[in-house]
Amino acid sequence: EPEVTQTPSHQVTQMGQEVILRCVPISNHLYFYWYRQILGQKVEFLVSFYNNEISEKSEIFDDQFSVERPDGSNFTLKIRSTKLEDSAMYFCASFGGDEKLFFGSGTQLSVL
Amino acid sequence: DQQVKQNSPSLSVQEGRISILNCDYTNSMFDYFLWYKKYPAEGPTFLISISSIKDKNEDGRFTVFLNKSAKHLSLHIVPSQPGDSAVYFCAASLDGSSNTGKLIFGQGTTLQVKP
């Protein structure tokens, strides 16, 4: 089965530092997403991306967050100045229009 | 904002028996519902879905039932197997899932199937 690949699997950073989480979606998919799950809480939608632009974003996705598809294959989530409350598992997902959303294995971000 | 709720954080069943996982929702505009399964250190994987125009969808050992009047859906696993032990998430979509992957998730129910 096709896979969404995320790197790194774990990221530890100091508060205030910038982090970039990377994802390689499924190659023929056109819709890309970031979700996150804070420990013990729900999986939450952050942002959707289609046709090289953000199509929708949640309240969580403030000015500290940005997404990019720099080279047609990678899809990145950048957090400019991390806060303690950004610590979470971040999931990338891609969607090909066939009712299934494929998730990556996630990046565990720990902000110290 | 708890539009999708899974009120049971955990469920334990014996191998071979039926597992029933429940999910309630508050937004009557949801038109597509999905169940995802998640193992530790992995992302959620799609299990089964149902459109709001149906009341039942079956795929092998998995059946999802939708009661729109009660705003309730359930996932039945028969027979349950130890490999089914995982966290199960109920999710809902507002836009018709054929056009969007934006999902609203419940809190998850941890299922343990004992041999």
How far is B14 from A108, CA to CA, in rounded Å? 32
Report whether CATH 1.10.3720.10 matches the domain A5-107. Answer: no
CA distance B75 to B35: 8
Q: Domain span at residue B75?
A: 4-114
One-letter amino acid identity for A1?
E
Q: What is the pLDDT of residue B94?
A: 78
Interchain CB contact of B101 with A (< 8 Å)? yes
Q: Does B44 touch chain A (CB under 8 A)?
A: yes
Q: Tell me how close the Cα of B6 comes to any Cα of chain A, in angstroms.
A: 10
d(CA B23, CA B82): 22
Ranges of each domain in chain A: 5-107
The radius of gyration of chain A's CA atoms, rounded to the nearest angstrom, is: 13
- Percent of chain B's residues with pLDDT above 90: 79
| Per-residue pLDDT at B96 | 54
pLDDT at B74: 98
Could you read off the pLDDT of A17-48 as tens digits, one per residue?
999 999 999 988 889 999 999 988 889 999 99
Tell me if A111 sits within 8 A of A14, measured CB to CB: yes
- Residue A99, pLDDT score: 66
Please count the structural domains in chain B. Answer: 1
Distance in angstroms (rounded) separating the CA atoms of residues A99 and A97: 6
